[in-house]
Structure 1
Amino acid sequence: MKSDTGPLYGILDTGYVEKQDLLRVAEALLAGGVAILQLRAKGHDSAAVLSMFQDTLTDLPRMCREAGVPLIINDFPEVALAIGADGVHIGQDDGSLSQVRATVGDGMIVGRSTHSLQQAKDALAEGFDYIGFGPLFPTPTKQGRPGIGLENIAEVEKNVGSHIPVFCIGGIKPDNLELVLASGARRVVIVSALLQAQDIENATRSVLKTLTTDL
């Protein structure tokens, strides 16, 4: 992934967005300026996610290409390959990078969720293209996982962020974004605060303005 990748990572999360609204919300996030767009469908298997693309998400890869924004599929390398996505994102328990590469090949972006400084360093050493680092704060999208706090952000940026993009994630909202940035973050993932906004496009633009002003 490019070292100059933009600072805002958007997630099209089926836990917040009804199936029939996914394309509309994706369009708003893209228009608002996200640098990456991920489809996250927790609680669904790969067949169900593929069905979404055959049904309501047929145009999503095209929309992302036209916007110049990589489309990432959460959890399912086989889905990413099948629909022509740009990448896949996996968690700590989803196998190794080499296992994913065996499915998607060498040309696809592969990201890893990390929850500690050591996991972040390990992901860099293994060869992942970017990492998510968090959850910084407790969040409904990560039930049962406590927030890891802000104290290691600067070290992760120093040790990992100088090589690959680091996206801080987990409970980040407009009202704590300045604190996250002051702790050393350069890139963030924001989920519920954007997906639940009255005007998703403008909410995305507002967050991006804060990010680009403070960096």
Structure 2
Amino acid sequence: MNRKECLSSCRLYGIVDMGYTAEHQLLPVTEKLLAGGLRILQLRAKNHNPEHIENMGLQLAPLCRKYGCLFIINDYPEIALNIGADGVHLGQDDGDLASVRGLLGKDAVIGRSTHSPEQALGACGEQADYIGFGPLFPTGTKPGRQAIGLEDIASVQQQLPENFPVFCIGGINGNTLPSVLEAGANRVVIVSWLLTHPDITGTVRTLRKELGEA
């Protein structure tokens, strides 16, 4: 299975966010996520310098390969290239996608954060491989970012090509997930609730089953 085929089968997207994971827990927490069958994982390390992020990425890349999980670096295409990651995730202000595609190649997985239907369609138009859509609810992961709610999920997915991966994100947890799915979502990113859960591996398994991935 190539990277894009693997991406299309993903329903649950995990993020090792260094805002919630102590550095000495980086490998154990990642292993717990992967042991649950997670198929796509991003390293997000805001407020760390690029060299430090690259060092962390070098530790995670072989672990993800061992488990057959796509490994994505947040924000830094050069780091993704240097460590042999599967791709990169870009924010709205992280430059144009075409130049990143030129750097990483056609097989790389490139995602874009989007916060409105217009941005979602724009990301698809610039040939992102997937989008994050949110934040749906207020979230401590992105303080100050206004929640966009659930109203646009179904219509955005109808306007995008069939099976284009839309990963809804922002404040999704065990309590809010049912309403997100009811609103039409079929792919989600779960960050803080999963990283701080007492049973990470079991919860990944349960979520994948609930999303129809397992």
Same fold (TM over 0.5): yes
1:17 matched residue in structure 2: 21
**2:98 pairs with 1:94:** no
* Corresponding residue pairs, total: 210
1:64 matched residue in structure 2: 64
Instruction: Measure the CA separation in 2 of the matches of 1:161 and 1:67.
Output: 30
Determine what percentage of the aligned residue pairs are the same residue.
Answer: 53
**Contact 1:38–1:74 at 8 Å: present in 2 too?**
yes
Instruction: Measure the CA separation in 1 of the matches of 2:161 and 2:30.
Output: 27
1:121 matched residue in structure 2: 121
The alpha-carbon deviation at position 105 of structure 1 amounts to 2.4
Instruction: Measure the CA separation in 1 of the matches of 2:62 and 2:205.
Output: 22
Matches within 5 A, 1:204-215: 204-212=204-212
**2:35 pairs with 1:31:** yes
Deviation per residue, 1:120-171 (Å, 9 max, x gap): 0011111000000000001011110111000000011112262521100000
Q: TM-score, normalised by structure 2?
A: 0.93
Instruction: Measure the CA separation in 2 of the matches of 1:75 and 1:198.
Output: 29
- Aligned-partner SS, 1:198: coil
**Contact 1:75–1:89 at 8 Å: present in 2 too?**
yes
Where in structure 1 do 4 or more consecutive aligned residues deviate above 6 Å? Answer: none
1:48 matched residue in structure 2: 52
- Aligned-partner SS, 1:132: strand
Matches within 5 A, 1:75-114: 75-114=75-114
Instruction: Measure the CA separation in 2 of the matches of 1:104 and 1:209.
Output: 32
2:174 matched residue in structure 1: 174
Deviation per residue, 1:77-122 (Å, 9 max, x gap): 0110111100000000000101212332222110000001111001
Instruction: Measure the CA separation in 2 of the matches of 1:206 and 1:87.
Output: 26
**2:19 pairs with 1:5:** no
- Aligned-partner SS, 2:211: helix
- Aligned-partner SS, 1:10: strand
**Contact 1:8–1:34 at 8 Å: present in 2 too?**
yes
1:148 matched residue in structure 2: 148
Q: TM-score, normalised by structure 1?
A: 0.92
Instruction: Measure the CA separation in 2 of the matches of 1:48 and 1:65.
Output: 21
Question: What runs of 5+ residues in structure 1 fail to find an aligned partner?
Answer: none
